[in-house]
C-alpha cells in the first residue's frame, strides 16, 4: 500500500439553474459532458445536492474526478472558467486534495 497520496481528488458543483432560476438547455449540458469526457477517462456523478450560500439555496450536480497530476487539475480548472460563462455563474465550486487511491480487484489468492 502506498505511504504517500498517489492521486488528486477533484470535486465540482455544477449548478442546475442560473442565478435567476432558469434551467440550462440541452446544448449547454451536451457541451459540459463533451468537454469533461474529453479531459478525463472517468468521473462519478453523485447526483444532486442542495447548497446554501449567503442566504441563497441552489441545487448542483456533484461531480468527483480522481486524477494523477496537477496538470489535470489545472485543465479541470480551465474547464470551469469556461463553464462559468456557459452556466452564467460568477464562480463555481472547485475543490481538490491529495488522496490515497487504489482499484481493489479480485485476483488469485496468495
Domain boundaries, the chain: 7-99
Q: Please report the DSSP string for 17-40 in residue order.
A: B-TTSPBPPHHHHHHHHHHHHHH-
C-alpha pair distances (Å), 91 with each of 19, 34, 53, 85: 11, 21, 12, 9
pLDDT band at 2 (very low <50, low <70, confident <90, very high): low
29-81 confidence digits (pLDDT tens): 999 999 999 999 999 999 999 988 888 889 999 999 999 999 999 999 999 99
- Tell me the pTM: 0.88
Among the listed residues 48, 15, 49, the one whose alpha carbon sits nearest the alpha carbon of residue 32: 15
**What are the φ and ψ backbone dihedral angles of 100, each rounded to 5 degrees?**
-85, 130
pLDDT value for 22: 94
What class is the 7-99 domain? alpha beta
Q: Answer whether residue 110 shows pLDDT above 60.
A: no
Beta bridge partners of 104: none
Amino acid at each position: 500500500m502506498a505511504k504517500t497520496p498517489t492521486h488528486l481528488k477533484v470535486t465540482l458543483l455544477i449548478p442546475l439553474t442560473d442565478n435567476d432560476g432558469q434551467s440550462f438547455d440541452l446544448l449547454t449540458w451536451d457541451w459540459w459532458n463533451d468537454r469533461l469526457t474529453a479531459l478525463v477517462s472517468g468521473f462519478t456523478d453523485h447526483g444532486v445536492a442542495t447548497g446554501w450560500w449567503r442566504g441563497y439555496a441552489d441545487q448542483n450536480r456533484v461531480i468527483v474526478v480522481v486524477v494523477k497530476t496537477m496538470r489535470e487539475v489545472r485543465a479541470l480548472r480551465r474547464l470551469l472558467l469556461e463553464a462559468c460563462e456557459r452556466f452564467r455563474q460568477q464562480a463555481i465550486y472547485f475543490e481538490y486534495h491529495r488522496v490515497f487511491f487504489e482499484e481493489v480487484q479480485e485476483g488469485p489468492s496468495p
